[in-house]
Amino acid sequence: MSGCHRTLVVTVVAVGFFVAPVGAQVPGKQFVPHVRSEVQEGGALVEELVRRSPTGREIVAELDRSTVIVYIRYRLFKESTLVGRIGLLSSVGDRRYLIVELAWGLLRVQALQALAHELYHATEIARAPEVVDTATLSGYYSRIGDRGRATGGGQMFETWAAVETTSRVHRELVAPIAPGDRIIPLRAEP
């Protein structure tokens, strides 16, 4: 996804969220997923990522074990190259609430890749309990990432690990047919 930008922003959200039951259940406990969406389409995207990508499945499972809650929503970005971004909504006790915004109108594979990329950033934040506000978020990504050029006054960072995650998920989504799978030819051979 070269040329795509990721921006770290702070956003305030006051909406209801669709909770997609995509994580692993713990016997005897009611499972509450840590990756949630404000619309059913976002929940379906998370479910598809978990179903089709081993890497996506690992990322969501890690988030479900963490103290981070991630909300997903779609939006129209002014920047045409921006396909997704993550921001810190708030921190209450040991819980941190993040928002992932994905661009409307992406092809399905692009949306899955962008979701995996931004959720990987969520795991980076989950692994850094010191990130509790915009100052610590900016400081953390200044240490582990590369600063990009942001528009609109925000800050933008990128990490090599998130870029690699995007590539890995892409390979998983478009993997060649496995041995033993039935192949139906497009045209009859002479």
Q: What is the pLDDT of residues 105-149, one digit of tens each?
A: 999 999 999 999 999 999 999 999 999 999 999 999 999 998 887
**181 inside domain:** no
% of the chain with per-residue pLDDT over 70: 73
**179 inside domain:** no
**38 inside domain:** yes
CB atoms within 10 A of CB 82: 20
Q: For residue 38, what pLDDT band results from cuts at 50, 70 and 90?
A: confident
The arithmetic mean of pLDDT across residues 143-166, rounded, is 85
Query: Could you give the number of structural domains in the chain?
Result: 1
| Residue 114, CB-side half-sphere exposure with 13 Å CA sphere | 28
**1 inside domain:** no
Domain extent for 82: 8-23+33-173
**184 inside domain:** no
* pLDDT (0 to 100) of residue 9: 37
* pLDDT (0 to 100) of residue 120: 97
| Lowest mean per-residue pLDDT among 12-16, 45-49, 90-94 | 12-16
Q: How far, rounded to the nearest angstrom, does the alpha carbon of residue 155 sit from its chain's CA centroid? A: 18
* pLDDT (0 to 100) of residue 39: 85
**178 inside domain:** no
Q: Of the candidates 134, 129, 130, which has an alpha carbon nearest to the alpha carbon of residue 154?
A: 134
Q: For residue 77, what pLDDT band results from cuts at 50, 70 and 90?
A: confident
Residue 21 has pLDDT above 50, yes or no: no
**183 inside domain:** no
**180 inside domain:** no
Say which DSSP state 23 is in.
Answer: S
The model carries a pTM of 0.78
